[in-house]
Amino acid sequence: MRPATDHLYHPDGYHHDLTEAVRRIAPAFRRVVIDRDRGDTWVRGGYDELGRLNAPRVIRESHLSMLGRTAHIIVADEAGCAEFYLVGGEDIEVEYASDAHRAECRGVVRVLAEVLGYERMDKVEPPAFGRPQG
């Protein structure tokens, strides 16, 4: 069983670009680390993986369009710590190492959603094919 993921989205479908999102996030937490190089490395790694999977060129190029508008972000304060990749103009997925880690981060993720004007939704993984429901 995979740990839970929080999905942050704007209820009206509007998403901030990277610059605006960082402008809102930076003053909201005691500690913020913004690593654009790590963001671009993550994008390139995904592009390479899509190539290994023989994904169509249009999908690989679409993925590569995230270069320059992606950052790895760590936010922390007394409410906990969370890290995620922020792609300007898109929803945010916050993945956790464990369910306990998710519980520790609940306050930080709530603040993150508030400063961006986003809603938080628990992401539920669909059951594996053939797995009995129950």
Pick from 20, 43, 41, 24: nearest CA to 32: 24
> What's the rounded Cα separation, in Å, for the pair 35 and 1?
30
Cross-strand bridge partners of residue 9:
119
pLDDT for 1 equals: 55
pLDDT for 13 equals: 84
Rg of the Cα atoms in the chain: 16
pLDDT for 134 equals: 41
> What's the rounded Cα separation, in Å, for the pair 7 and 69?
19
The residue written with tokens 């690989």 in the block is 60
pLDDT for 96 equals: 86
Its pTM stands at: 0.82
> What's the rounded Cα separation, in Å, for the pair 42 and 87?
11
User: Which mean pLDDT values do the consecutive 10-residue runs of the chain (134 residues) have?
Assistant: 79 90 95 96 94 93 92 91 92 88 89 92 51 41
pLDDT for 123 equals: 55
Cross-strand bridge partners of residue 19:
none
pLDDT for 110 equals: 92
C-alpha distances out from residue 98 to 3, 6, 69, 86, 92, Å: 5, 12, 28, 21, 18
pLDDT for 3 equals: 62
